[in-house]
């Protein structure tokens, strides 16, 4: 499947100064966030990428035009440094399309601007360029394939470390608990889409919430609940935590590297009862994906 990645945002919360690299190019170990996201998809065989560029487009293009396979692969060097023999490679089978989608465009507008590259596909994948996960993509695709939904998103528990409080009528605090205990679900990206998504997108609006809102009356948007590893690199603190995981070789998202991911076998949450979908032969199948 083709993979659309939104790489054009300013990433203001992560930038330490105006000269900082664009958010997707923030480094985690020896490679940028964008590379880690792309490597996740490539691990599952999806290597046809469409990059929706905006702010920092030159940095993204230059990185791949000057890509050095030796940074993340074993190799031998001979002939006084003139002959490099790679023992493995990252991106030799990747096809990357670079599209300038504007500096101030929303995610929905960026998606519309690459419509011609995906509108003839039965389904395609899309995602932010700054979120990492170890979610089982093949299972997500399979669940989506046998529904009539237009869009699927990964639903993850709210990531805030803040606490919520219960207050009685006398303004006494009766309970303090982490916000994660409320089990509210957050949009985690990792979208699976059908071309019908373009019928609900409008200029000046966004994919979330505007486009997705138009899918709700006909129950054409499903959520795939996942409580395993998921992390958005929204702030400098987030990036520092991911760097710490990387340097301690505890990288659940690096499924392509058994030494760093430590052989994790993540699974989606069990589906909820009550949602009808069509199976491969058109027979009703209960997937329960709208929890």
Q: How many CB atoms lie within 10 A of CB 143?
A: 21
- The CATH homologous superfamily for domain 2-157+184-286 is Spore Coat Polysaccharide Biosynthesis Protein SpsA; Chain A (3.90.550.10)
pLDDT tens string 106-159: 999 999 999 999 999 999 999 999 999 999 999 999 999 999 999 999 999 887
Q: Is 281 helix (H, G, I), strand (E, B) or coil?
A: coil
The pLDDT-based confidence of 268 (bands split at 50, 70, 90) is confident
pLDDT band at 88 (very low <50, low <70, confident <90, very high): confident
85 CA to centre of own chain: 33
Buried b (16+ CB within 10 A) or exposed e, 232-260: bbbeeebbeebeebbeeeebbbbbeeeeb
Highest mean pLDDT: which range of 73-82, 102-111, 281-290? 102-111
As a whole number, mean pLDDT of residues 248-263 equals 86
Domain boundaries, the chain: 2-157+184-286
Q: CA 283, CA 161: separation in Å to the nearest integer?
A: 44
Indicate the DSSP class of residue 22: P
- Counting residues of the chain whose pLDDT is more than 70, the rounded percentage is 85
Beta-strand pair 151-157/191-193:
antiparallel
Q: What is the rounded distance in angstroms from the CA atom of residue 26 to the CA atom of residue 84?
A: 28
* Model confidence band, residue 284 (pLDDT cutoffs 50, 70, 90): very low
Q: How far is CA 53 from CA 23, 37, 43, in A?
A: 12, 15, 23
Please report which confidence band the pLDDT of residue 51 belongs to, taking 50, 70 and 90 as the band edges: very high
Residue 127: C-alpha distances to residues 39, 75, 164 (Å)? 13, 32, 30
Residue 285 pLDDT > 90: no
Widest CA span of the chain, in angstroms? 81
What confidence score (pLDDT) does residue 275 get?
A: 45
**Mean predicted lDDT score pLDDT of the chain:** 84
CB 73 within 8 A of CB 90: yes
Flag the least confident range among 114-118, 191-195, 261-265, 287-291.
Answer: 287-291
In degrees to the nearest 10, what's the CA dihedral of 106, 189, 41, 237?
Answer: 90
Can you say how many angstroms the Cα of residue 218 is from the centroid of all Cα atoms in its chain? 25
Residues 238-251 pLDDT 10s:
889 999 999 998 99
3-state SS, residue 200: helix
Ramachandran region, residue 2 (left: φ > 0; alpha: ψ -120 to 50; beta: rest):
beta
Per-residue confidence (pLDDT) for residue 286, from 0 to 100: 35
Which is nearest to 96 in space by CA: 186, 4, 162, 233?
A: 4
pLDDT digits (tens, 9 = 90+) for 3-15: 999 998 775 444 4
- Helix, strand or coil for residue 41? helix
């Amino acid at each position: 499947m083709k993979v659309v990645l939104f790489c054009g945002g300013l990433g203001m919360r992560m930038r330490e100064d105006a000269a900082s690299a664009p958010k997707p190019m923030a480094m985690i170990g020896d490679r940028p966030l964008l590379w880690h996201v792309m490597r996740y998809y490539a691990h599952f065989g999806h290597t046809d990428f469409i990059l929706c560029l905006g702010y920092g487009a030159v940095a993204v293009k230059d990185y791949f035009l000057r890509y050095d396979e030796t940074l993340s692969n074993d190799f031998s060097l001979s002939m006084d440094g003139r002959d490099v023999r790679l023992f493995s490679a990252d991106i030799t089978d990747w096809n990357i399309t670079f599209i300038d989608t504007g500096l101030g465009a929303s995610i929905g507008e960026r998606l519309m601007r690459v419509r011609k590259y995906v509108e003839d596909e039965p389904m395609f994948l899309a995602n932010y360029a700054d979120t990492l996960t170890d979610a089982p993509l093949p299972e997500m695709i399979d669940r989506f394939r046998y529904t009539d939904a237009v869009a699927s998103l990964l639903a993850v528990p709210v990531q805030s470390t803040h606490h919520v409080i219960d207050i009685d009528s006398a303004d006494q605090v009766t309970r303090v608990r982490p916000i994660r205990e409320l089990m509210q679900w957050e949009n985690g990206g990792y979208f699976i889409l059908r071309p019908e998504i373009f019928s609900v997108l409008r200029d000046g609006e966004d994919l979330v919430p505007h486009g997705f809102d138009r899918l709700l009356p006909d129950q054409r948007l499903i959520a795939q609940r996942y409580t395993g590893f998921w992390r958005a690199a929204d702030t400098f603190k987030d990036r520092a935590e991911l760097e710490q995981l990387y340097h301690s070789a505890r990288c659940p998202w690096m499924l392509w590297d058994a030494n760093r991911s430590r052989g994790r076998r993540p699974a989606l949450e069990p589906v909820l009862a009550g949602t009808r979908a069509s199976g491969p032969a058109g027979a009703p199948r209960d997937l329960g994906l709208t929890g």
